[in-house]
Chain A
Amino acid sequence: MGPAVRHLIGLALLAPLACAMFEDQAGKYDWRRTFIGAPTAAALHSRKPRLSVCTRPGVLATLNLRDGEVWWRHLLDDEGGVDGMAVIEKIGVVVTLSGGGRRLRAWDQLEGALRWEEAVGRGDGGGPSAMVDLVRNDGSADQPVVAVMAGREVKLFAATDGEEIWSAVVSDAPALDAGELGAGDGEIVAATAHTGSGRLRVVSLSVESGAILSEHSETLQQGLATELVIGRMSVGVLSSDYKHVCTTMIKGQQSATCTSVEELLPGKPRRGSLYQAGNRFLVALRGTENNIAALLPASGSSISSTQKYEGVTAATAVLTVDEKSLLGIVGSADDGQGIFFKMVDVTTGEVVHEEFADLHLHGTVGPTKHVESAFLGRYNRKDGTTGFRALLVGGDDSLSLIQQGQVVWSKDEALGSVQSSLFIDPPNAVPGVANLPKGDLLKKIKAQILSLKVQFSLNTEQEKLELMDMKQALSGKNAPLRDPNGSRKYIISATASGKLYALHNGDGRVVWSRCLSQAPFPNHVLLSRHSHDPNEAPQLLLVRLGGPGPSTILTVNAHTGAVSEETVPFGIQKIVQLPGVIRDGPAEQHMFLFVDDSSGYPEAYLSPNLPETRAWLKEVYKQIHFWRSDKGNGTMAGYGVVNGDVDATTGHVQLSDLWSLSFHSPILEIATRDTFDPVHSFVKILGDRTLKFKYLNPNTAFVASGPAFGVPSEELDRESIELTVTVLDTVTGRVLFRQVHRGARGPVKAVFSQHWIVYHYWSLKNQRYQMSAMELYDSGHQGISVLDVMLSEGPNETLSSHQPVPLEVLRSSYFVSNAVKTLTTTKTSKGITTQRVLIGTAADQVYAMDKRFLDPRRPKGRKPTEAREERLIPYSENLYMYPTMYATQNKDVLGLKVSGWCFVCRLKCECLWFMLASIAAT
């Protein structure tokens, strides 16, 4: 039957059931939220309403101090994030040190433009990095400069143009892992330490020449915490057990003195921080129950009660006001309601200013967190006195500005570090919530009038925003309930800061959020149990991947956020979702193998460890296989389950070696088919109406191996540079296909879906990026006739890796202009809709490329009739990226790390995308 009639009949049959999207719904994104992450350093401008921050995910941003709006942000994607930041107000620049102390950059504070960039030479490359800004008098005028610690050296750069002024070696110790720089009066103090041996060295350098003014070394008996704090006269450091604070004078040869702070907090402190307080230090200790801070005495006397501050969790840097050195301390209020902010005179220990703010650091459910760090700013009040404001960073990754006891603004930045996400169905019914909002008539009429005004451009900006809000309110897509098509979903996201969110996919709002109580926080979310009864909430598992044992597994109710904990005695490096489910009434319980290979050999544990799951594994254990790879050494190994016996206590499953494979060069990329990837048809119909049978064995892996990433091509033998791509069976380890790309190397990104593979690599020979497409076909079925299909079982057999079929591989290659960060593909519920390859570009955008452009059957030369019938696009060696096909349109997803998770809903042609980055979610 020809395609036209098939389509006509198909449409006629489906007419009563038809459900699809409107054309204008396709390719639009619903919402986009941008984040910067939790700040590690911040500088409040002394005169202008500007706030510059650098954050844990490596973002540098300037915000409006009045409302927290992000003016600009840059992701400094050098390895190691941002090591230091300094704002030089005089010339309006923000200087950053990043990439493990290798890159020094200056940015315009207002516009975010890059003023200059310098590479900081680091000698052997190791050691600590730190930065401080100061002023240098070059004889004629004061010149703003930045001093940078680069391992054993300190270098001075001009802040105006990045010119290196001098460089001095401050230590000859072989191993250094802690360092700090401080600016004194005409001098730079550099403190370096090796925390393991307690060796500490303090050097004072002349700002003008870099000459060493004084130096001395100490060895402290107590192990050191990595935080070195440089005070006005001395250098302080906390011992690794947080029980002593040791100080040594910058000038002078007297030995270091250690003060015990054990009496401050009974029991072992969980964390400790040391802050510089002029001539003194402030130590803040965090226990399991309470927190305390104390000003250390200038001399050897004990800490008096007036210098202790209960409940303090963070302190700010020292600010000099009216010749008084003041320091801000922040903590949770006694009654548990909100936080306090006090200013302390560091000389007397007296609290000179105190205010309380109604700031709550927790999710919609779950425990409360503390303020983790605080940054102080000052402003001049109208009456001429000095006022203080503080920027607070909460343990829940929130960012708040408090001033005069008021929370001026607050931002939740936890979603800037999403680690893992999952789409789940929302509840079927919520008391008091209607499936469709019941807007009153007047509201609807008003929306229509506003809509007309906007259409004819008669609106104000305010009216446009109001219309958008009204449309949102009147739309049914934002209801927190399940819909018949499955388009409404909750996005469950676990963040690096230990916060768990349920976001509504309609508008991205937070349905519920929860702070998890204790680190290490889980970094992977799994669907553990779901029910066909729509009133039963799905159950999720939250797991920490990659950590040593014992591990904590959290079970979460996906609709309410209720959490229960279970501790297992093993670490989890890999999670295998097993192909079966255990039915419990209308509910289906998924089964997993948690694999701990920290000991070098994989140990598998069945979860949940129940009699039913054990019985299931006993029945099917011969079919279950596991494989793992060692990318650095270029090896892969496969394992089978020995006898299906599961330890009833621990769930331990015995594995045995099945196969191993060596690629003789590092593995650059592995792509596998999703076992649960839906496939609509077994065959591909060609233009001449013959059939090609797809190779659909899901136990197939694509492996790319070649010269390791990071090794310069100049160091390699140019003739021997080649990229080998291998398609192998993961049950038997049999190599099904191998191809060598000569003159090509990584980085390689690949995606494997159904019977096709697309991969991206760098062609050294052509000096361009290339993409190759591969399609795998089972060539064992040739000349199949109508009668074969109608009268016999034909090729409707089961697939087995132990009965290999002859493989036909079609392939083609293309040049592409873009570097690629990630590759993935769209997925729909039945696998019917033409797939798109989602390309995450180096510019943090996502391009949705139609798979037909990556069809290896694209005809070269004159287009034959069959190709016309198949609507194959003629081959062109270049793959163009059309601006209209960017899924992200003109937006970027800063720090894109997963180019899109596609989740299917019950509409065949609808695919929900969730693009994830360390900074933004779209």
Chain B
Amino acid sequence: MAPFRKWHVEFEEGGGRHVADPPGYSATARDSGSVTSTAEKRKANETAKRQAFLMAKARAPFKQVAFMCFMMYMSGTSIQIFSLMMTISGIAGPIQAMLKSGEVFPADPQGKLDTFSPRVVYCIIHAAQLGFALNRLNAMGLMPTHASDWVSALAVPRVQEFASGGVGLE
């Protein structure tokens, strides 16, 4: 005697469902409805968390930049080894960071994560440091922003006439 079973579902391949789906039936159509599984929800949360993590990562240099700017401010605008080192690292750091931002925010191979926005934020923060550093450089007088910095382009003019009193005995 067969065991009493009200209903059962065969999950094994080929088991219990050999009947073809009716026309117009879509197995995936069930998922699009309000009906979601717990696993799917978990999956979505994970993506959001990863996105938030990216943004946090993008904002992370802010404190470092602020500290760097403070350091640059404190080192002053006089031309000394310390202020020059601070300013040069203040310029070189953001440039390097921006150039390497692609490595910091690699593109998501599944295309589920938005890496562009955090990368932009990241670059803006570093650009702010670069801007501040350039401002310090300018305050030090090391930016070629005056005509006097381009005097090598001003050649000595050639004279068109020649006049001489000659050499003679006094």
Chain A residues engaging chain B, CB cutoff 8 angstroms: 1-2, 4-5, 523-524, 545-546, 573-579, 593, 595, 623-629, 638, 670, 672, 675, 679-683, 685-686, 689-691, 696-699, 701, 730-731, 784-786, 788-790, 794-802
Q: Report whether B165 and A789 are in contact in the complex, using a CB–CB cutoff of 8 Å.
A: no
Inter-chain CA distance A260–B80, complex, in Å, is: 95
Min C-beta distance of A916 to chain B, whole Å: 14
Q: Report whether B149 and A1 are in contact in the complex, using a CB–CB cutoff of 8 Å.
A: yes
Q: Report whether B148 and A691 are in contact in the complex, using a CB–CB cutoff of 8 Å.
A: yes
With A698-B159, A789-B154 in contact, is A629–B144 under 8 Å at CB? no
Q: Report whether B159 and A524 are in contact in the complex, using a CB–CB cutoff of 8 Å.
A: no
In the complex, the 6 A-B pairs of residues with the closest C-beta atoms, listed nearest first: A574-B166, A625-B163, A2-B141, A730-B163, A576-B166, A699-B163
Inter-chain CA distance A784–B153, complex, in Å, is: 13
Q: Report whether A800 and B161 are in contact in the complex, using a CB–CB cutoff of 8 Å.
A: yes
- Bin chain B's interface residue count: 20 to 34
1/0 per residue B150-169: CB within 8 Å of A?
11011111111111111111
Q: Report whether B144 and A1 are in contact in the complex, using a CB–CB cutoff of 8 Å.
A: yes
B145 at the interface (CB under 8 A from A): yes
- Residues of the A chain whose Cβ atoms lie less than 8 Å from the Cβ of B149: 1, 689, 786
Given A1-B142, A627-B164, A627-B165; 6 other pairs, CB 8 A cutoff: A524-B167, A546-B168, A625-B164, A679-B156, A798-B159, A799-B157
Q: Report whether A626 and B163 are in contact in the complex, using a CB–CB cutoff of 8 Å.
A: yes
**In chain B between 112 and 170, which residues have their CB closer than 8 angstroms to a CB of chain A?**
140-151, 153-169
B79 at the interface (CB under 8 A from A): yes
A–B pairs, 22, beta carbons within 8 Å: A2-B141, A2-B142, A573-B168, A574-B165, A575-B166, A575-B167, A626-B166, A627-B164, A672-B165, A675-B164, A682-B154, A689-B146, A689-B147, A690-B148, A696-B157, A696-B159, A699-B162, A788-B147, A789-B151, A789-B154, A798-B158, A799-B157
> Residue B151 contacts which of A2, A628, A682 (CB distance < 8 angstroms)?
A682
Inter-chain CA distance A111–B154, complex, in Å, is: 62
Q: Report whether B157 and A2 are in contact in the complex, using a CB–CB cutoff of 8 Å.
A: no
- Residues of the B chain whose Cβ atoms lie less than 8 Å from the Cβ of A784: 147
With A623-B162, A699-B163, A800-B160 in contact, is A523–B154 under 8 Å at CB? no
Min C-beta distance of A681 to chain B, whole Å: 6
- Residues of the A chain whose Cβ atoms lie less than 8 Å from the Cβ of B156: 679-682, 696
Inter-chain CA distance A593–B163, complex, in Å, is: 12
Q: Report whether A730 and B169 are in contact in the complex, using a CB–CB cutoff of 8 Å.
A: no
> Residue A675 contacts which of B141, B143, B147, B162 (CB distance < 8 angstroms)?
B162
Q: Report whether B157 and A682 are in contact in the complex, using a CB–CB cutoff of 8 Å.
A: yes
- Residues of the A chain whose Cβ atoms lie less than 8 Å from the Cβ of B148: 683, 685-686, 689-691
With A681-B156, A786-B145, A786-B146 in contact, is A595–B161 under 8 Å at CB? no
Task: Tell me if B's interface is mostly helix, strand, loop or mixed.
Answer: loop
> Residue B157 contacts which of A1, A546, A686, A798 (CB distance < 8 angstroms)?
A798
Q: Report whether A576 and B164 are in contact in the complex, using a CB–CB cutoff of 8 Å.
A: yes
Inter-chain CA distance A818–B147, complex, in Å, is: 42
Q: Report whether A1 and B159 are in contact in the complex, using a CB–CB cutoff of 8 Å.
A: no
Q: Report whether A1 and B143 are in contact in the complex, using a CB–CB cutoff of 8 Å.
A: yes
- Residues of the B chain whose Cβ atoms lie less than 8 Å from the Cβ of A683: 148, 151, 154
Q: What residue in chain A is nearest B149 (Cβ atoms)?
A: A1
> Residue B168 contacts which of A545, A698, A731 (CB distance < 8 angstroms)?
A545
Min C-beta distance of B136 to chain A, whole Å: 13
With A679-B156, A795-B157 in contact, is A626–B143 under 8 Å at CB? no
> Residue A670 contacts which of B142, B163, B165, B167 (CB distance < 8 angstroms)?
B165
Inter-chain CA distance A625–B153, complex, in Å, is: 31
Q: Report whether A625 and B167 are in contact in the complex, using a CB–CB cutoff of 8 Å.
A: no
Min C-beta distance of B141 to chain A, whole Å: 4
Q: What residue in chain A is nearest B152 (Cβ atoms)?
A: A681
> Residue A794 contacts which of B144, B154, B165, B168 (CB distance < 8 angstroms)?
B154
Inter-chain CA distance A625–B145, complex, in Å, is: 43
Chain B residues engaging chain A, CB cutoff 8 angstroms: 79, 140-151, 153-169
Inter-chain CA distance A628–B143, complex, in Å, is: 50
Inter-chain CA distance A690–B149, complex, in Å, is: 10
Inter-chain CA distance A221–B169, complex, in Å, is: 38
Q: What residue in chain B is nearest A639 (Cβ atoms)?
A: B163
Q: Report whether B162 and A4 are in contact in the complex, using a CB–CB cutoff of 8 Å.
A: no
Q: Report whether B154 and A625 are in contact in the complex, using a CB–CB cutoff of 8 Å.
A: no
Inter-chain CA distance A486–B92, complex, in Å, is: 44
Q: Report whether B157 and A785 are in contact in the complex, using a CB–CB cutoff of 8 Å.
A: no
Inter-chain CA distance A681–B154, complex, in Å, is: 8
Inter-chain CA distance A623–B159, complex, in Å, is: 10
With A626-B163, A682-B154, A798-B160 in contact, is A2–B169 under 8 Å at CB? no
> Residue B164 contacts which of A577, A682, A685, A795 (CB distance < 8 angstroms)?
A577
- Residues of the B chain whose Cβ atoms lie less than 8 Å from the Cβ of A638: 163
Q: Report whether B165 and A785 are in contact in the complex, using a CB–CB cutoff of 8 Å.
A: no
With A1-B149, A786-B146, A786-B147 in contact, is A799–B165 under 8 Å at CB? no
- Residues of the A chain whose Cβ atoms lie less than 8 Å from the Cβ of B169: 523, 545-546, 573
Q: Report whether A574 and B161 are in contact in the complex, using a CB–CB cutoff of 8 Å.
A: no
Q: What residue in chain B is nearest A420 (Cβ atoms)?
A: B167
Inter-chain CA distance A786–B160, complex, in Å, is: 27
Inter-chain CA distance A39–B158, complex, in Å, is: 51
With A683-B154, A797-B157, A799-B157 in contact, is A731–B163 under 8 Å at CB? yes
Q: What residue in chain A is nearest B168 (Cβ atoms)?
A: A574
With A797-B157, A799-B157 in contact, is A4–B142 under 8 Å at CB? yes
> Residue A628 contacts which of B144, B159, B162, B165 (CB distance < 8 angstroms)?
B165
Q: What residue in chain A is nearest B146 (Cβ atoms)?
A: A689
With A626-B166, A696-B156 in contact, is A785–B147 under 8 Å at CB? yes
Inter-chain CA distance A524–B168, complex, in Å, is: 9
Inter-chain CA distance A2–B166, complex, in Å, is: 43
Q: Report whether B166 and A799 are in contact in the complex, using a CB–CB cutoff of 8 Å.
A: no
Q: Report whether A796 and B157 are in contact in the complex, using a CB–CB cutoff of 8 Å.
A: yes
Q: What residue in chain B is nearest A5 (Cβ atoms)?
A: B142
Q: Report whether B166 and A593 are in contact in the complex, using a CB–CB cutoff of 8 Å.
A: yes
Inter-chain CA distance A881–B79, complex, in Å, is: 34
Inter-chain CA distance A730–B150, complex, in Å, is: 32
- Residues of the B chain whose Cβ atoms lie less than 8 Å from the Cβ of A800: 159-161
- Residues of the B chain whose Cβ atoms lie less than 8 Å from the Cβ of A796: 153-155, 157
- Residues of the A chain whose Cβ atoms lie less than 8 Å from the Cβ of B167: 524, 545, 574-577
Q: Report whether A801 and B164 are in contact in the complex, using a CB–CB cutoff of 8 Å.
A: no
Q: What residue in chain B is nearest A685 (Cβ atoms)?
A: B148
Q: Report whether A579 and B154 are in contact in the complex, using a CB–CB cutoff of 8 Å.
A: no
- Residues of the B chain whose Cβ atoms lie less than 8 Å from the Cβ of A785: 147
Q: Report whether B141 and A691 are in contact in the complex, using a CB–CB cutoff of 8 Å.
A: no
Inter-chain CA distance A697–B149, complex, in Å, is: 24
Q: Report whether B161 and A625 are in contact in the complex, using a CB–CB cutoff of 8 Å.
A: yes
Q: Report whether A789 and B159 are in contact in the complex, using a CB–CB cutoff of 8 Å.
A: no
Inter-chain CA distance A762–B51, complex, in Å, is: 87
With A2-B141, A628-B165, A699-B159 in contact, is A790–B154 under 8 Å at CB? no
Min C-beta distance of B103 to chain A, whole Å: 32
- Residues of the A chain whose Cβ atoms lie less than 8 Å from the Cβ of B140: 2
- Residues of the B chain whose Cβ atoms lie less than 8 Å from the Cβ of A577: 164, 167
Q: Report whether A786 and B154 are in contact in the complex, using a CB–CB cutoff of 8 Å.
A: no
- Residues of the B chain whose Cβ atoms lie less than 8 Å from the Cβ of A697: 159
With A682-B157, A796-B155, A796-B157 in contact, is A626–B165 under 8 Å at CB? yes
Min C-beta distance of A539 to chain B, whole Å: 18
Min C-beta distance of A497 to chain B, whole Å: 17
With A4-B142, A682-B157, A699-B159 in contact, is A786–B150 under 8 Å at CB? yes
Inter-chain CA distance A638–B161, complex, in Å, is: 13
- Residues of the B chain whose Cβ atoms lie less than 8 Å from the Cβ of A628: 165-166
- Residues of the A chain whose Cβ atoms lie less than 8 Å from the Cβ of B143: 1
With A1-B143, A2-B79, A523-B169 in contact, is A691–B159 under 8 Å at CB? no
Inter-chain CA distance A784–B141, complex, in Å, is: 18
Min C-beta distance of A290 to chain B, whole Å: 35
- Residues of the B chain whose Cβ atoms lie less than 8 Å from the Cβ of A524: 167
Min C-beta distance of A871 to chain B, whole Å: 15
Inter-chain CA distance A794–B143, complex, in Å, is: 21
Inter-chain CA distance A683–B151, complex, in Å, is: 7
| Residue of B140, B144, B160 with most chain A CB atoms under a 10 A cut-off | B160
